[in-house]
Amino acid sequence: MPCETFNLKEYLKKRRALIERALETYLPASNGIYATILKAMRYSLFAGGKRLRPILCLAAAEAVGGQKETALPVACALEMIHTYSLIHDDLPAMDDDDLRRGKPTNHKVFGEAIAILAGDGLLTEAFSLLSHSDSEQLGVNIKVPAERRLRVIHLIAQAAGYQGMVGGQVLDLECTGRDVDLETLSTLHQHKTGALIRAAVKSGAILGGGTEEQIEALDQYALQIGLAFQIKDDILDIEGSVEEMGKAPGGDIAQRKSTYPRLLGLEKAKEKLRECIKKAKEKLAPFGDKALPLKAIAEYIEKRRK
Amino acid sequence: MPCETFNLKEYLKKRRALIERALETYLPASNGIYATILKAMRYSLFAGGKRLRPILCLAAAEAVGGQKETALPVACALEMIHTYSLIHDDLPAMDDDDLRRGKPTNHKVFGEAIAILAGDGLLTEAFSLLSHSDSEQLGVNIKVPAERRLRVIHLIAQAAGYQGMVGGQVLDLECTGRDVDLETLSTLHQHKTGALIRAAVKSGAILGGGTEEQIEALDQYALQIGLAFQIKDDILDIEGSVEEMGKAPGGDIAQRKSTYPRLLGLEKAKEKLRECIKKAKEKLAPFGDKALPLKAIAEYIEKRRK
């Protein structure tokens, strides 16, 4: 089956629905004493994210021949961690954003104190979910060996912590308002967004029972698409249209942010993007048709218009 | 050996030194790209805390006949979580404190953005440490079964999250400036400080290989000393001296905070304190001399003058 016949749109829609349902099960609303904090946590968790990280996690589990259900709680934990990072990044002390995906940011709705705590709560809940042992309560009928689960928790913690996302946000703060070179820009993105994307793919591969060789190949795939995603973002800021993106392009230029097109030139940046996608797809070759979704996602990252 | 001959002061001093050394190993300083965030994380982690939670964790492991080394990484992770909660609680959006243990708070030194991230980093690093599998790298020669480690991670995440510490801080914000009843006050403290103290003792008992009966008994011990600790805090705010406490008493009254003496009357509060300590010590009876440190800590909580 060539990739063209794979219906990515339909696939993403179904996977998103699966993840929404699971998140709803793992973090249900409540009228009890936790009503306030749950409301704030759920506000951002269900604010219409693309669910890219959990989708990649499930797809990686299947690429190595595992069942997606094995990875479902971990996939949802990754989305909680991603959401926590957005809440904290939007805070007045950080990027001071009023809007996220067209909706008021968490602190705009609940105030700064609750927003900080909602982020803390989501981050902690992710680890609660990652270490949850009752597979029946999780609606998942597949047991994963405890050693494998510990490995996944550790790699996700490392990807989210000061050597990963948290470190990336610190680098971003340190780089704001000054010119940086290509190496620094790449280090920043690899920490801020790349690390969790890699952790999503890698943890899926581990949970699906992949060999070390398979895990390594998918990790390299994730490294390339993470980088590609950022380059494409930078290109869209130059070439995108308001209609398609839902926001005005040119923000990076106005803020004098260091971007790949600015450092490489637009054509070279596009070339690098194509190269990343090519490398990513090459890593999928040994997986055959099982990796069709991962292949289609890589192609989507190159072609997307928003 | 009666409790009087147990030298608590010497014991606490040695244990603190052990924990400081381990924390230094697990989160060393660095001049690399993580220099800034590590500096901020370490500033609060090494700001002279009493290390009560890690000490309780090690003591619980030994009370059930285990070796303290088994619990050392978990003990340090608990201290990281405790420290993160202090950094975030002190933020301008929360309690807005300028001083902590006589030193400027994290955000006063590093700014709000880095303080938020230092808290995030410590919380995440705790889970990285909890799931770390290389016992040699951790300087601990004892392997704990993976299933047992997952159980400990889960209970600590629950104690730290929205059903524990995070939830307690939300309740505290909601209760500020209004009168609350005894039940609400107790719920608040059980979440804000009690949950992590219980998790510290319980995880120690699990890691030390305790039976379910022993784990339950020590959990009940922890519940009582957690409550006692808070009542004593409230009493010291009335009876303590500036010289001994290093801060002026009467702060609760000035802020019209709900406290046990205010709701119960001073004498009744003292009675309740004695009762908690009595109940806590009763739970230790089956452990004999192995629980001497836990017994001495309970007595210290009752008698302490700061």
The per-residue DSSP string of B233-261 comes to HHHHHHH--HHHHSS-S-HHHHTT---HH
Residue A100's pLDDT band, with cuts at 50, 70 and 90, is: very high
Residue B133's pLDDT band, with cuts at 50, 70 and 90, is: confident
Residue A245's pLDDT band, with cuts at 50, 70 and 90, is: low
Amino acid of residue B7: N
Question: Searching chain B, which residue's CA lies closest to the CA of residue A150?
Answer: B131
The domain total for chain B is 1
The confidence score (pLDDT) of residue B4 equals: 54
Q: Please name the member of A94, A128, A161 whose beta carbon is closest to the beta carbon of B124.
A: A161
Residue B134's pLDDT band, with cuts at 50, 70 and 90, is: confident
End-to-end CA, chain A: 28
If DSSP codes are grouped into helix, strand and coil, which group holds residue A99?
Answer: strand
Question: Searching chain B, which residue's CA lies closest to the CA of residue A187?
Answer: B33
Q: Where are the alpha helices (DSSP H) in chain B?
A: 8-26, 35-45, 52-63, 68-90, 106-110, 112-130, 146-160, 165-175, 182-189, 195-207, 212-239, 242-245, 251-254, 260-264, 266-284, 292-303
> Counting one residue from A and one from B, how many pairs have CB atoms under 8 Å apart?
149
B25/A8 Cα distance (integer angstroms) = 47
Provide the token pair at A95. 């990027």
Q: Buried (b) or exposed (e) across B163-202, using 16+ Cβ within 10 A?
A: bbbbbbbbbbbbbeeeebeeebbbbbbbbbbbbbbbbbbb
Per the CB < 8 Å rule, is A133 touching B124?
no
CA distance A174 to chain B (A): 9
| B267: number of Cβ within 10 Å | 9
Question: Searching chain A, which residue's CA lies closest to the CA of residue B127?
Answer: A157
Reported as type and span, the H/E element at residue B64 is none
The confidence score (pLDDT) of residue A247 equals: 66
> Mind listing the pLDDT tens digit for each residue in B6-59?
999 999 999 999 999 999 999 999 999 999 999 999 999 999 999 999 999 999
If DSSP codes are grouped into helix, strand and coil, which group holds residue B211?
Answer: coil
Mean predicted confidence (pLDDT) in B126-130: 98
Per the CB < 8 Å rule, is A124 touching B157?
yes
> Mind listing the pLDDT tens digit for each residue in A267-280?
999 999 999 999 99
* Residue A46 pLDDT greater than 90, yes or no: yes
The confidence score (pLDDT) of residue B228 equals: 97
* CA distances for B283 relative to B149, B173, B297, angstroms: 25, 33, 14
- Confirm or reject contact between B211 and chain A (CB < 8 A): no
- Confirm or reject contact between A236 and chain B (CB < 8 A): no
CATH code, A28? 1.10.600.10
Q: Higher-confidence residue: B173 or B248?
A: B173
* Residue A3 pLDDT greater than 70, yes or no: no
The confidence score (pLDDT) of residue A191 equals: 97
* Residue B110 pLDDT greater than 80, yes or no: yes
Residue A6's pLDDT band, with cuts at 50, 70 and 90, is: very high
* Residue A239 pLDDT greater than 50, yes or no: yes
CA distance A33 to chain B (A): 8
Contact A208, A65 (CB under 8 A): yes
Interface predicted TM-score of the whole assembly (ipTM), two decimals? 0.96
B112/B110 Cα distance (integer angstroms) = 7
Question: Searching chain A, which residue's CA lies closest to the CA of residue B124?
Answer: A161
Residue B246 lies in domain: 3-303
Mean predicted confidence (pLDDT) in A59-84: 97
The confidence score (pLDDT) of residue B1 equals: 46
CA distance B29 to chain A (A): 12
Spatial CB neighbours of A30, under 8 Å, sequence gap ≥ 6: A38
* CA distances for A279 relative to A191, A194, A213, A229, B191, angstroms: 20, 16, 16, 14, 50
Residue A141's pLDDT band, with cuts at 50, 70 and 90, is: confident
Reported as type and span, the H/E element at residue A104 is strand A103-104
HSE on the CB side for B90, CA within 13 Å? 26
Per the CB < 8 Å rule, is A146 touching B146?
yes
Per the CB < 8 Å rule, is B166 touching A124?
yes
Amino acid of residue A86: L
CA angle B58, B59, B61 (to 5 degrees): 65
> Mind listing the pLDDT tens digit for each residue in B158-213?
999 999 999 999 999 999 888 899 999 999 999 999 999 999 999 999 999 999 99
B5/A42 Cα distance (integer angstroms) = 54
